[in-house]
């Protein structure tokens, strides 16, 4: 690939982002374009706002952390990104990923809570059963991505990790 074709493809990609933002009624600011590019580059990885902010700074784009949060909020509201909450003992943290038009809105992932390795679960029967169980408990999870936190075998072997003591957990 020549330098001219690389510049041309970069320019075409940026023009497509600008077109998508304008079509949604969002002004294509440098910050929004930067956030979009980072989510695209790191897809399908789920990123928190602080990571997006650091990646923007590393790539030479300057924006405040608040601006990054607002851009992510706008993308979620307009369907350009998916927001997922990760629970921890200290509370929850929002993570974001670019929404993929061909992907199922309700996806299930299994993620190691220590190293972050993940696998996508493509099992409609399991997703249906998880939704039924959640609804039986009064939870509305329809069309929401689900993450099941686990400890992978590598982390369990090498880090002597103990299972988390969740409030109300009785251990079996």
Annotated binding-site members? 112, 115, 152, 155
Angle at 132 between CA 44 and CA 90, to 5 degrees: 55
CA distance 65 to 80: 19
Alpha helix locations (H) across the chain?
A: 3-23, 30-42, 49-58, 65-77, 124-136, 153-158
Question: Residues annotated in the binding site for Zn(2+), as ranges?
Answer: 112, 115, 152, 155
Q: Per the structure block, which two tokens stand in for 10?
A: 């970069």
Q: Per the structure block, which two tokens stand in for 14?
A: 């940026």
Q: Per the structure block, which two tokens stand in for 70?
A: 């607002």
Note the residue count of the chain: 172
CA distance 103 to 141: 17
């Amino acid at each position: 690939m020549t330098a001219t074709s690389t510049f041309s493809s970069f320019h075409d990609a940026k023009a497509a982002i600008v077109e998508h933002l304008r079509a949604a009624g969002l002004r294509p600011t440098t910050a929004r374009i930067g956030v979009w590019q980072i989510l695209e580059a790191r897809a399908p990885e789920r990123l928190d706002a602080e990571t997006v902010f650091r990646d923007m700074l590393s790539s030479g784009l300057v924006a405040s952390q608040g601006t990054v949060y607002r851009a992510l909020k706008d993308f979620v509201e307009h369907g350009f990104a998916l927001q997922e909450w990760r629970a921890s003992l200290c509370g929850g943290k929002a993570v974001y990923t670019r929404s993929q038009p061909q992907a199922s809105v309700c996806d299930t992932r299994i993620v190691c809570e220590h190293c972050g390795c993940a696998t996508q679960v493509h099992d409609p029967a399991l997703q249906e059963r998880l939704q039924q169980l959640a609804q039986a408990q009064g939870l509305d999870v329809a069309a929401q991505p689900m993450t099941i936190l686990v400890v992978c075998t590598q982390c369990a072997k090498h880090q002597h990790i103990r299972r988390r003591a969740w409030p109300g957990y009785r251990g079996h």
